[in-house]
């Protein structure tokens, strides 16, 4: 079995579809050859990392051959034609099982594609396989391990998606986030994670957890691929109605240098150790060294009000998501109690204890926080903080702390994690946060931060 990979925060060895596509057009490379390079990485690392829940190379090879012929004829279907995309296994696929790491859904096939998968197939993308998720994206972890230390978690719930990208098995993978499930595993695995604004990508055909929080996004080896695939999904499938969908240019927006950023600590700060804090300080110094004004709670009353409002929001998020998951999980508990893990059973039972009054109060607090964040747009271009409180924890039984991710999921605003921090040779993400439905602005800001902190 192969040894773990070595993390380098300035690595550039991962496959990038956006860079390869011009070579497809001039004939110096092909989608089939690009896919075969990914399959070589799967053959080399999958036995150790266990990123895939279902994989049959015949399906992506057939799709890549079709894309190769379209490029040969000069007729690619879209900007993502020929792009291999791994799909988290709570997202329906017509030709592959969708098992959700649950015994209830073992070998289950819906007979349809989720809206996002449909959009990608219509665009010529190559659906590579299904990646491991925690149980229903909320409970017991799967077998996937961290590519950089096999004794550590890859994060969750998009465990396999992040690990597959980090190992070079796919240039991009689909993930979902209800608390921290895109950016946390991306951070632990040293890759890019893009959680768009809530409802900016259509979640039809994705197993539900919380209507208020469930968000589809991308995990990729490059920011360009993360944006490109997300934008193409929106171009075909739109957003989750009544949201019209992610807006902005087809390709990654150009770098956007900020004038001012707000540095946030949140409840996660007390969990961080000295080396992780030092890594963040070094990144902030690079940003400030380019003339960016950095505001924080100690010198700016508006930021202190926001930090105070963010205290304890994990409980607010828990109440909302618990109440909203009563269906279908209470039905699963009634009909298949023996097929739920103890962790899932406990979370389902907890949802019974959330009453309508508590739910309404949590929604009011959530809406108040969303207004408070929106009001900061006149003060700063965006926000910056850690993505995780430290490197991935040892052990596969727990997917890590959600403290640095859950608060921005609650706001419904977009965020990006970039792999520019390392602590003890392991990745810890730098998180850039934006304003709701200003995803293209955030992407340009994240590109600038990524470039400045990557040198």
What radius of gyration, in Å, describes the C-alpha atoms of the chain? Answer: 21
Q: How many CB atoms lie within 10 A of CB 146?
A: 30
Residue 225 and residue 264 in one domain: no
Boundary-marking domain end, from 237, 252, 279: 237
Residue 272 and residue 379 in one domain: yes
> Do residues 58 and 153 make contact, with C-beta atoms less than 8 angstroms apart?
no
Note the Cα 394 to chain centre separation in Å: 21
Residue 145 and residue 273 in one domain: no
> Do residues 193 and 409 make contact, with C-beta atoms less than 8 angstroms apart?
no
Give the burial class of 84: count Cβ atoms within 10 A of its Cβ; 0-12 exposed, 13-18 middle, 19 or more buried.
buried
pTM of the model: 0.98
Q: How many CB atoms lie within 10 A of CB 134?
A: 26
- Residue at 197 is within a domain: yes
Give the count of domains, the chain.
2
- Residue at 348 is within a domain: no
Q: How many CB atoms lie within 10 A of CB 241?
A: 10
Residue 227 and residue 292 in one domain: no
> Do residues 185 and 161 make contact, with C-beta atoms less than 8 angstroms apart?
yes
Task: Return all residues near 75 (Cβ < 8 A) that are at least 6 apart.
Answer: none
Half-sphere exposure of 330 (CA within 13 A, CB side): 12
Name which of 173, 85, 232, 183 is nearest 409 in CA terms: 183
Q: How many CB atoms lie within 10 A of CB 148?
A: 23
Per-residue pLDDT tens digits for 146-172: 999 999 999 999 999 999 999 999 999
> Do residues 300 and 293 make contact, with C-beta atoms less than 8 angstroms apart?
no
Residue 147's pLDDT is what?
A: 97
- Residue at 349 is within a domain: no
Task: Return all residues near 73 (Cβ < 8 A) that are at least 6 apart.
Answer: none
Note the Cα 374 to chain centre separation in Å: 22
Rounded to 10 degrees, the C-alpha dihedral 323/141/114/180 comes to: 60
> Do residues 97 and 107 make contact, with C-beta atoms less than 8 angstroms apart?
yes
Element at 54 (helix H, strand E): strand 52-54
Boundary-marking domain end, from 204, 237, 270: 237
DSSP 303-314: HHHHHHHHTTHH
Residue 213 and residue 268 in one domain: no
Boundary-marking domain end, from 237, 270, 299: 237
Half-sphere exposure of 197 (CA within 13 A, CB side): 25
> Do residues 440 and 253 make contact, with C-beta atoms less than 8 angstroms apart?
yes
Residue 279 and residue 208 in one domain: no
Task: Return all residues near 407 (Cβ < 8 A) that are at least 6 apart.
Answer: 266, 267, 310, 313, 314, 317
> Do residues 261 and 284 make contact, with C-beta atoms less than 8 angstroms apart?
no
- Residue at 339 is within a domain: no
Residue 158 and residue 288 in one domain: no
Phi, psi of 162 (to 5 degrees): -70, -45
Residue 220 and residue 269 in one domain: no
- Residue at 224 is within a domain: yes
In this structure, what token pair is assigned to residue 408? 């921005």
Note the Cα 161 to chain centre separation in Å: 9
DSSP conformation class of 161: H
Task: Please give the chain's pLDDT, 455 residues, in tens.
Answer: 577 889 988 777 899 999 999 999 999 999 999 999 999 999 999 999 999 999 999 999 999 999 999 999 999 999 999 999 999 999 999 999 999 999 999 999 999 999 999 999 999 999 999 999 999 999 999 999 999 999 999 999 999 999 999 999 999 999 999 999 999 999 999 999 999 999 999 999 999 999 999 999 999 999 999 999 999 999 999 999 999 999 999 999 999 999 999 999 999 999 999 999 999 999 999 999 999 999 999 999 999 999 999 999 999 999 999 999 999 999 999 999 999 999 999 999 999 999 999 999 999 999 999 999 999 999 999 999 999 999 999 999 999 999 999 999 999 999 999 999 999 999 999 999 999 999 999 999 999 999 999 97
In this structure, what token pair is assigned to residue 83? 């792009």
State the CATH number of the domain containing residue 191. Answer: 3.90.1300.10
Name which of 264, 173, 185 is nearest 225 in CA terms: 173
Residue 232 and residue 268 in one domain: no
Output the CA–CA distances (angstroms, integers) from residue 206 to 84, 88, 450, in the order listed. 20, 9, 30
Residue 211 and residue 146 in one domain: yes
Q: How many CB atoms lie within 10 A of CB 2?
A: 13
- Residue at 247 is within a domain: no
Residue 8's pLDDT is what?
A: 85
Task: Return all residues near 207 (Cβ < 8 A) that are at least 6 apart.
Answer: 90, 91, 98, 100, 136, 137
Residue 195 and residue 264 in one domain: no
Per-residue pLDDT tens digits for 175-219: 999 999 999 999 999 999 999 999 999 999 999 999 999 999 999
Residue 285 and residue 205 in one domain: no
Place of tokens 């890549």: 64
> Do residues 413 and 435 make contact, with C-beta atoms less than 8 angstroms apart?
yes
Residue 88 zone, left/alpha/beta (φ > 0; ψ -120 to 50; rest): beta
Distance CA 409, CA 407 (A): 5
- Residue at 248 is within a domain: no
Residue 1's pLDDT is what?
A: 59
Q: How many CB atoms lie within 10 A of CB 293?
A: 13
- Residue at 431 is within a domain: yes
Distance CA 69, CA 80 (A): 15
> Structural domain of residue 379, as residue ranges?
260-309+362-453
């Amino acid at each position: 079995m192969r040894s773990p990979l070595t993390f380098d925060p300035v690595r550039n060895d991962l496959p990038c579809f956006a860079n390869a596509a011009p070579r497809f057009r001039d004939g110096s490379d092909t989608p089939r050859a690009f896919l075969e390079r990914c399959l070589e990485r799967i053959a080399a690392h999958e036995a150790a990392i266990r990123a895939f829940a279902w994989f049959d190379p015949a399906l992506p090879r057939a799709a890549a051959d079709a894309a190769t012929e379209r490029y040969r004829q000069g007729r690619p279907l879209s900007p993502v034609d020929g792009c291999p995309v791994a799909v988290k296994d709570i997202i329906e696929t017509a030709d592959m099982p969708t098992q959700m790491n649950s015994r209830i859904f073992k070998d289950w096939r819906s007979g349809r594609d989720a809206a996002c998968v449909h959009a990608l197939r219509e665009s010529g993308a190559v659906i590579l396989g299904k990646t491991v998720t925690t149980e229903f994206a909320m409970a017991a972890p799967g077998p996937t391990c961290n590519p950089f230390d096999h004794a550590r978690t890859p994060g969750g719930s998009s465990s396999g998606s992040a690990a597959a990208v980090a190992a070079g098995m796919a240039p991009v993978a689909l993930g979902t986030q209800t608390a921290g499930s895109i950016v946390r595993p991306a951070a632990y695995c040293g890759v890019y994670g893009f959680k768009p604004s809530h409802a900016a990508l259509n979640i039809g055909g994705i197993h539900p957890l919380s209507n208020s929080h469930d968000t589809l996004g991308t995990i990729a080896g490059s920011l360009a691929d993360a944006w490109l695939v997300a934008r193409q999904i929106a171009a075909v499938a739109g957003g989750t109605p009544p949201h019209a969908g992610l807006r902005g240019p087809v390709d990654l927006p150009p770098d956007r240098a900020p004038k001012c950023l707000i540095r946030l600590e949140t409840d996660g700060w007390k969990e961080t150790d000295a080396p992780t804090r030092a890594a963040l300080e070094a990144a902030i110094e690079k940003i400030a060294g380019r003339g960016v004004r950095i505001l924080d709670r100690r010198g700016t009353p508006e930021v202190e009000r926001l930090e105070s409002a963010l205290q304890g929001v994990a409980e607010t998020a828990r109440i909302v998501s618990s109440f909203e998951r009563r269906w279908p999980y209470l039905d699963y508990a009634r009909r298949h109690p023996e097929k739920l893990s103890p962790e899932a059973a406990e979370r389902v039972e907890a949802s019974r204890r959330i009453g309508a009054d508590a739910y309404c109060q949590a929604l009011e607090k959530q809406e108040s926080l969303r207004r408070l964040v929106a009001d900061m747009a006149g003060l700063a271009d965006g926000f910056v903080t850690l993505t995780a409180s430290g490197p991935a924890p040892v052990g596969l039984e727990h997917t890590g702390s959600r403290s640095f991710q859950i608060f921005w999921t609650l706001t419904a605003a977009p965020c990006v994690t970039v792999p520019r921090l390392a602590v003890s040779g392991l990745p810890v993400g730098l998180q850039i946060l934006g304003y709701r439905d200003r995803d293209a602005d955030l992407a340009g800001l994240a590109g600038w931060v990524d470039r400045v902190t990557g040198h």
